[in-house]
């Protein structure tokens, strides 16, 4: 597929969590986007968006890493991230980190303007709502906080899911409630975090879904970790993995 005869060039910012823990999500992201005709590269040198330090109050340390990331993607036309929270770190955190900096503020804004979350890129930029996947499962969707509230991406992932052949979509009650991850919150205040994720898991069980889908790997790691600990056989998948099925 080409877009008006033009092949869209884009770069994958896979995020450290996908790089380290979920290579298969990165692979699906690449396959789905390439199938849609995107010429995708993976710029060397990329690491982490800086969110862990930023949300703990360590802005200097976050800025140090963020500068590196901005440099790595300097020549990219578009950047795609398979993570709503990391993309919102770019959109909201970067301008804040470099506010008033004569050199980096401008660069940060340029970076923001070319950065997209995965489902947002497919639906809003490519204009595609059906990627041609088939998945014969009952699926529910957790709407992660930063993606929905900070980036305003609510419908795009659900639209893509509902157009997957064979997929039985069921709404998750309180889908917009936080899963309790919150970065280091999940360790510093683990007892509260544990109570919050328990509510989320209970709601997932209520739906009777076989698969929980999300667009944020850290939320999925949190929810999946609780499901695993409770021995509940609900499979956890990133949206990209579902869109990569049956093609």
Beta carbon nearer to another protein, 6 or 187: 187
3-state helix, strand, coil in the chain (%, to 5): 50, 15, 35
Q: What is the DSSP string of 178-225?
A: --S-TTTHHHHTHHHHHHHHHHHHHHHHHHT-SEEEES-HHHHHHHHH
Give dist(CA 75, CA 141) in Å, integer: 34
CB 10 within 8 A of CB 33: yes
The binding track of 122-161 with respect to another protein, each residue x by CB under 8 A or -, is: -----------------------xx--xx-----------
Q: With binding defined as CB under 8 A, does residue 238 bind another protein?
A: no
Report the C-alpha gap between 111 and 11 in whole angstroms: 12
Site for another protein in 39-58 (CB under 8 A): 39-42, 44-48, 50, 52-58
Q: Is 33 in the site for another protein (CB under 8 A)?
A: no
In the complex, the smallest distance separating the C-beta of residue 23 from another protein, rounded to whole angstroms, is 4
Q: Does 193 bind another protein (CB under 8 A)?
A: yes
187 scored as a contact of another protein (CB under 8 A) = yes
228 is a contact residue toward another protein (CB under 8 A): yes
Nearest C-alpha neighbor of 219 from the set 37, 1, 11, 51: 51
Q: How far apart are CA 187 and CA 198, in angstroms?
A: 15
**β-pair type (115-117, 79-81):** parallel
Can you list the alpha helix ranges (DSSP code H) found in 90-189? 94-97, 104-113, 118-120, 145, 155-162, 185-188
Residue closer to another protein (CB basis): 215 or 221: 221
Q: Which is nearer to another protein, 19 or 168 (CB)?
A: 19
180 binds another protein (CB under 8 A): yes
State the DSSP string of 2-23. Answer: -BTTBPPEEEE---HHHHHH-H
Stretch that binds another protein, among 22-30, 98-106, 162-170, 202-210 (CB under 8 A): 22-30
Query: Interface with another protein includes 103 (CB under 8 A)?
Result: no
Count of residues binding another protein (CB under 8 A)? Answer: 70
90 binds another protein (CB under 8 A): no
Residues that bind another protein (CB under 8 A): 14, 16, 18-23, 26-27, 30, 39-42, 44-48, 50, 52-62, 64-65, 67-68, 96, 145-146, 149-150, 176-178, 180-183, 185-199, 221-222, 224-226, 228-229
């Amino acid at each position: 597929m080409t877009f008006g005869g033009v092949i869209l060039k884009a770069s994958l910012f896979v995020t450290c969590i996908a790089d380290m823990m979920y290579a298969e999500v990165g692979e699906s992201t690449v396959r789905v986007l390439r199938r849609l005709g995107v010429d995708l590269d993976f710029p060397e040198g990329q690491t982490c968006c800086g969110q862990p330090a930023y949300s703990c109050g360590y802005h200097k340390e976050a800025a140090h890493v963020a500068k590196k990331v901005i440099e790595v993607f300097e020549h990219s036309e578009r950047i795609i991230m398979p993570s709503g929270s990391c993309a919102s770190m770019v959109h909201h955190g970067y301008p804040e980190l470099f506010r008033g900096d004569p050199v980096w503020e401008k660069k940060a804004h340029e970076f923001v303007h070319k950065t997209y979350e995965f489902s947002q890129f497919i639906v809003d930029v490519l204009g595609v709502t059906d990627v041609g996947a088939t998945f014969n499962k009952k699926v529910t969707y957790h709407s992660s906080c930063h993606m929905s509230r900070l980036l305003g991406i609510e419908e795009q992932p659900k639209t893509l899911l509902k157009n997957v052949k064979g997929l039985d979509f069921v709404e998750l009650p309180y889908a917009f409630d936080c899963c309790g991850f919150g970065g280091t919150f999940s360790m510093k205040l683990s007892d509260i975090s544990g109570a919050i994720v328990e509510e989320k898991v209970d709601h997932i069980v209520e739906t009777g879904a076989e698969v929980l889908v999300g667009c944020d790997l850290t939320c999925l790691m949190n929810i999946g970790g609780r499901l695993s600990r409770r021995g509940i056989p609900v499979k956890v998948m990133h949206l990209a993995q579902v869109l990569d099925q049956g093609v």
